[in-house]
Chain A
Amino acid sequence: MKTPMRPGKICVCVLLGLFIISFMTPYVSAQEKFRKTPPLPYPLPDLNFPSLESFILSNGLQVSVVQRKPQPFIDIHLIILTGESLSPDDLPGLASFTANMLFKGAVGLSASQIEEQIEYIGGDFSVSTYPDYSVFSITCLKDYLNDAVKLLGQILTQADFPKIEVNNVKRDMFYNIARNTNPELLGRKLLFQILFHNHPYQKYVFNSSVIKRLNRKDLLTFFDKFYIPNNARLLIIGDVDLSEVTNITGKHLGQWEKKNVETYHINPPAPKTKPKICFTDLPGADETTLFIGYVLPRDKTGNYFSYLVFNQIIGGSHISRLIMNLRETKGYAYWAFSGIELFGNCGLFSVKAKVKTEYLYPSVKEILKEIRSLTMNKIPNHEIEQAKSYLIGNFPIQISGHKEFSLKVSEIVALDMENIFWKNYYENIMYVNSSAVFKAFQNVRLLNPVIVIVGDKDVVLDHIKEFEEVEIYDNEGIFQYKLKKVIENDST
């Protein structure tokens, strides 16, 4: 049983308590002044890229060198300046097929032997095909530059495209497309198909039925026509010097035969005259994935940086408008981002979002509202400055690995962007202001979007009834039918 405390004792305890608290307070709450507020940054450091030095071999191959010291790797990129847009109209995919076959055999070398040779020099290898070009990338230890270029020369001049590998590559391509259940890839593919309908860039996406028609004969024709030194660029990045590269490339690639190269001009795609909404079914999809895209003109002037700032404000990061609105404020979406891509003749601005299916319609409305608001009104300065701060801080991170750096350089070389990108990146971003963004979008009206919805038909159909007209596609991009909004008559 507890004994009640006497009043005198209580007073002593209270006084003691107060004394202890008063004694402790400075230690509990005191902190150095500098801890209370975030420190200011130092002055912005310079962003200096090493120079790009170029020379042309007698067969027309332009070789560009970027010296980076000390670096134990060499990154080699062979760029063929023909991409999927020059595949025959009835054979989209031929450019990708040809590119995927290139390292699959040469006279006296099987595909496995080529793989082994690349790994022997501490290297790896990748192939990518885009609408305007294909790029073959080899990374190796710097002691093996000669071996890598020798192998490349052997493959380019003695490629034999073995029949067994033709079948293997076709099988891999077929299954990659047919088994693709990734909603983001499916959505992007359909977006590209609709945005570039009847334009050569449409051939960048193709379905699995095309793969059956790809054959070795067409491949050889495409290879002979486009895989020629005067239609290519070679980029070498690492701890090398120009004279070493001149000797090695002359020795191993000088024999690559020059041919006449036809010039093709691809016009930019015509602007869309009305919005289009498309849906593709992905049975079992948990949520709905959304793409909204617009074609931008290819801009070789400063407008490109205005586009970048605009993109940053609307959906370039986790603190951009779309994610703050759709996820943080309204709870419609899990995420929502936007991006800008550049091609030879145009650009692409697109938004992608994963939304809760019941909020599909309001999500689309909100995204379009945000785009309209940003293009019709001047953006507040603090948002412009915030976006610029992000872009300036983030760009060097994107190229901080040697492979990322060299891939960026290969994109710059392939799309002839050296002047706008390589030089003065920071300055170009800093010059952007609210008026520049506003002006850039006076010429580029983002009025008629292509909207692509990917989700489970059984769940999504109820929620797309709100749209006026929706085109339904299968997940290979084949048009099925149209759904039109039913307007209920009020018979009373």
Chain B
Amino acid sequence: MNLKRLVIFCLMVHFVYTGFSQVKQTEGQEPFPFSVHSLKNGLTVILSRDDNLPLVTVVCAYKVGSAYEKKGEAGMAHLLENLMFMGSRNVGPMQHIRFIHRIGGEFNAVTSWDRTLYYQTVSSNQLPLVLWLESDRMNSLNLEYSTVEETKNLLIETLKNQNKEDPFRESMLVFDRLLYPDFAYNHPIIGSEEDLKSITVKDVRNFYNTYYKPNNAVLCITGNIDEEDTLNLVRKYFSTIDPSKNVPPAPSFKGDFTQEKQEQISINEAITTPGFRLGYRIGSPYSNDFYILSMIDYLLFSGESSRLYKRLVKRNKLALSIGGGIEKRKDLAAFKIFVLSNNEATKEIAKKALFSEINRLKSYLIPDRELIKIKNMYKSDYMENFYSPEKRALFLTQYYLSGNDIRDLRGELNKYLRINSSEIIGIMNRYFTENHVLVEMRGK
């Protein structure tokens, strides 16, 4: 054991036994009341009451996303997300949106690698309407040839515009292909033009009939609700929808995610400010390491006093902008960093400064005050999730879909607040290694 390692080991032992934190913990408390229910057809229902305002948010989420797509059908999950607004048996095309608009409600939908969420916030007296709308499209989506083709063409146009308007998009695709191991994890959610063109109505119907079923969904309702009445409404609208007999198991990565170092250059004529993308593969988002990695994310990026912003942007003016953090893709996660610089020379210096900041965190304990600061910032952002019906509903849904036992939510925040400086050093040395992925972005 060399001297540096010995020092680190001693410090780790010290802090494991003494520990410190001036951030108040809320041991074992529920951050807010919620309950979980299950219908006979397998639909999971999460309810949480919040009477601050006369509002209700309904999230209907399906356990399917781009990682579930087969080769040749990249973009299917996102295509279906769009088709969910194109009408069902009792609701005409785009009528879902119009119903919500007419009552002053707001809606959105999002597809990620392993889930697709539909959510709307309305005045709480309109809850029956939202459940009627959501149940109709879960029960009987209209998937006609013309609608599917029209939606595909619209998405292909969007894809073309993205390529035209974002000079950094190509570098992002290259970066993801190097960082993540296979098609399921590294293809873009919007898909590819070629695949979108080749997807047929039959393919879409199969995808819908396989995954858009109550036993592959979760319904979360938060806000100014009466729990019993809400459960009765949910039973009325959803309990007679047939479950899927066979939902395929979720894809999971079996290989070794920590591959060797990879570096590449991505050139795009439209790039006027050079930069680079740096990525570290950090393994499973479900391990205990993840709590410490989240603190490292805050240490490096959160706020104007964060380490990278202070060093690269404010003090040394090496970067025009800097961003990044942890990205979770189903059962894998990566730590991504994105830096834009004025010119090639400052970019190179910025890169060195960045590596020096990372190396500093591998060897030196962070000061107590800085640790308290990032914990307070984390606590503040974490709690922000509870204080509107929409944020709370999304938070509960995401937590449930992450595969966690939702009862663990009670003590979850404390897992972040208990972290000490020596654990940060340990994790930095484990994951922030030479085996990174680096993509340089240049104009011509």
- List the interface of chain A (C-beta within 8 A of B): 31-32, 34-47, 68, 71-73, 112, 115-116, 119-124, 139-141, 143-144, 317-319, 386, 389-397, 399-402
Contact = CB atoms under 8 A, between A and B. Distances in A.
A38 B132 CA distance: 7
B314 interface: yes
A396 B388 CA distance: 10
Contacts of B124: 42, 45
Contact of B240 (A32, A119, A389, A397): A32
Interface string B86-124: 000110000001110111111000000000000001111
A115 B304 contact: yes
B103 A389 contact: yes
A396 B129 contact: no
Interface string B128-170: 1100110110011000000000000000000000000000000
B53 interface: yes
Contact of A121 (B305, B376, B391): B376
23 contacts: A31-B90, A32-B240, A35-B90, A38-B99, A39-B128, A40-B128, A41-B125, A46-B54, A47-B53, A115-B304, A119-B302, A119-B304, A119-B305, A120-B376, A121-B376, A144-B376, A317-B104, A392-B104, A393-B104, A396-B53, A397-B121, A400-B53, A400-B55
Contact of B123 (A44, A139, A317): A44
A68 B125 contact: no
Contact of A41 (B128, B135, B140): B128
A141 B387 CA distance: 13
Contacts, number: 139
In this complex, the member of A37, A71, A120 whose beta carbon has the largest number of chain B beta carbons within 10 angstroms is A120
A39 B129 contact: yes
B102 A402 contact: no
Nearest to B103: A393
Query: Which range holds the interface residue count of chain B?
Result: 35 or more
Given A35-B90, A73-B383, A401-B387, A119 B125 contact: no
Contacts of B373: 116, 119-120
A447 to B, nearest CB: 31
A43 B54 CA distance: 11
Given A119-B304, A319-B102, A393 B126 contact: yes
B287 to A, nearest CB: 26
B123 A392 contact: yes
A6 B305 CA distance: 87
Contacts of A143: 24
A141 B123 contact: no
B2 interface: no
B310 A112 contact: yes
Interface centre among A40, A72, A124, A391 (most CB of B within 10 A): A72
Contact of B89 (A31, A37, A119, A139): A31
A139 B129 CA distance: 36
A402 B99 CA distance: 27
Given A115-B303, A119-B373, A397 B55 contact: yes
